[in-house]
Amino acid sequence: MDCSQQNIADSLVKSYHEIGGINRIDSANLPSKRTVTAVCERLMQLLFPGYHDEEPIPAEELEMITGERIATLVESLEVEVAKTLRLRDDETGDTHSGLAKQARDLVCEFIGHLPELRRLLQTDVEAAYEGDPAAKNFDEIILAYPCIEAIAIQRCAHCLYKSDIPLIPRIMTEYAHSLTGIDIHPGATIGEYFFIDHGTGVVIGETCVIGAHVKLYHGVTLGARNFPKDENGRIVKGNKRHPNVEDKVVIYPHATVLGGKTTIGHSTTVGANVFLRESVPPVSFVTTVGEQLNIFNKETGEAVEPIGPEKE
């Protein structure tokens, strides 16, 4: 190492001691992003066998291949979950037997959800096929549509999130975000037959609750209206911040819906570029002309008033 490199190394080491908050030295190991990414890829193979493989899967070998893939997934995921449990329980050092058992139990519980996740994802593929006239077949949707990958990974991450496993669910959905441009927090609850057309720029917040047969277009944001702070001026965590979207709602491109007390009633259509902070009655059509928000009943054509706005 020449003198300039040594000087840089010395300066960096000095900064590690002087600048806190972005170092992790002499601490328990964190989950590996590379391993969690590999977990996502293995999950896609298990959820859509034959679609994420370079070689065809013979039917007579399906049981063996599936068993091997589950064993590999469990082995790698157990290690990463044990690391996060140390963080959750403020423990340090090597994984002890209690955490290892807890991690194994959580991973086994998660693996047990995979058949139900496949059922849900089959409804999402159907929704994409029915919702996009350009879709030729299920093969095209599973292989080429970014929404299927983003939704599949989010549904898996949501299972881990509900088990109070830190970090890993967020790493998973941010990996999907980097691949697809679709940002769905693992905490979001999403019903069956969910379709995101095109998808780029969609943001769905942590406390969103989305019903069945919902369709979103690109650029839609389901976000927070504001961020309440405590007496020390710090943002309050864990409260309901994001909207509810009931069954059979369609939200067109670049619409923004904000607030934990905001509900879009069932069978409503929200037009493109709408900015909405109020709840909307069921069976409505929402548009904007300039800055004017217009809401009509889809069946009668009569103007209706929003519900709210409510203070948050």
Which of 146, 181, 216 is the last residue before a domain boundary? Answer: 181
* pLDDT grade for 192, boundaries at 50, 70 and 90: very high
- Region 276-288: what's the mean pLDDT? 96
In a domain? residue 25: yes
Query: At 251, which CATH number?
Result: 2.160.10.10
Q: Does 304 lie in the same domain as 174?
A: no
Q: Is pLDDT larger for residue 257 or for residue 24?
A: 257
Contact 219, 254 (CB under 8 A): yes
Q: Does 213 lie in the same domain as 171?
A: no
Q: Does 171 lie in the same domain as 36?
A: yes
| Number of domains forming the structure of the chain | 2
Query: At 84, which CATH number?
Result: 1.10.3130.10
pLDDT at 87: 77
CB neighbourhood size of 307 (10 A): 15
Which stretches of the chain are DSSP H helices?
A: 3-18, 33-47, 62-88, 97-112, 114-131, 138-144, 146-162, 168-180
CB-based burial label for 17 (10 Å; 0-12, 13-18, 19+): exposed
Q: What is the separation of C-alpha 113 from the centre of its chain, rounded to a whole number of angstroms?
A: 17
Contact 289, 276 (CB under 8 A): no
Q: Does 166 lie in the same domain as 32?
A: yes
* pLDDT grade for 115, boundaries at 50, 70 and 90: very high
Query: Domain residues for 262?
Result: 201-312
Q: Does 125 lie in the same domain as 205?
A: no
Q: Does 163 lie in the same domain as 217?
A: no
β-partners of residue 151 are: none
* Cα–Cα distance, 219 to 55 (Å, whole number): 36
* Cα–Cα distance, 177 to 196 (Å, whole number): 13
In a domain? residue 5: no
pLDDT at 7: 86
3-state secondary structure (DSSP) of residue 282? coil
Note every long-range contact of 199-203, with CB atoms under 8 Å and residues 24 or more positions apart, other chains counting.
199/145, 199/146, 199/147, 199/150, 200/146, 201/254
pLDDT at 97: 67
Q: Does 206 lie in the same domain as 170?
A: no
Would the pLDDT of 53 be above 60?
yes
Q: Does 142 lie in the same domain as 41?
A: yes
In a domain? residue 293: yes
pLDDT at 95: 47
Would the pLDDT of 308 be above 90?
no
Q: Does 256 lie in the same domain as 140?
A: no
CA dihedral sign, ordered 10, 12, 15, 20: negative
| Percent of the chain predicted with pLDDT > 90 | 75
Q: Does 225 lie in the same domain as 135?
A: no
Provide the 8-state DSSP code for 60: G
Greatest mean pLDDT range, 93-97, 99-103, 215-219, 231-235: 215-219
Structure tokens at 281: 């009655």
Read off the pLDDT of residues 238-275 as tens digits, 9 standing for 90 and up. Answer: 799 999 999 999 999 999 999 999 999 999 999 999 99
H/E stretch holding 256: strand 256-258
* Cα–Cα distance, 29 to 244 (Å, whole number): 37
Would the pLDDT of 127 be above 70?
yes
Read off the pLDDT of residues 128-177 as tens digits, 9 standing for 90 and up. Answer: 999 999 999 999 999 999 999 999 999 999 999 999 999 999 999 999 99
Structure tokens at 259: 């607030």
pLDDT at 228: 76
Would the pLDDT of 227 be above 60?
yes
- Region 287-294: what's the mean pLDDT? 89
pLDDT at 92: 46
Report the side by side order of strands in the sheet with 244-245.
Answer: 189-190, 209-210, 244-245, 263-264
pLDDT at 40: 97
Q: What is the separation of C-alpha 254 from the centre of its chain, rounded to a whole number of angstroms?
A: 19
* Cα–Cα distance, 78 to 104 (Å, whole number): 6
Mean pLDDT, the chain, whole residue set = 92
In degrees, to the nearest 5, what angle opens at C-alpha 86 toward C-alphas 82 and 88?
110
Q: Does 131 lie in the same domain as 23?
A: yes
pLDDT at 310: 60
pLDDT at 96: 62
Q: Does 103 lie in the same domain as 42?
A: yes
Would the pLDDT of 3 be above 80?
no
- Region 53-75: what's the mean pLDDT? 93
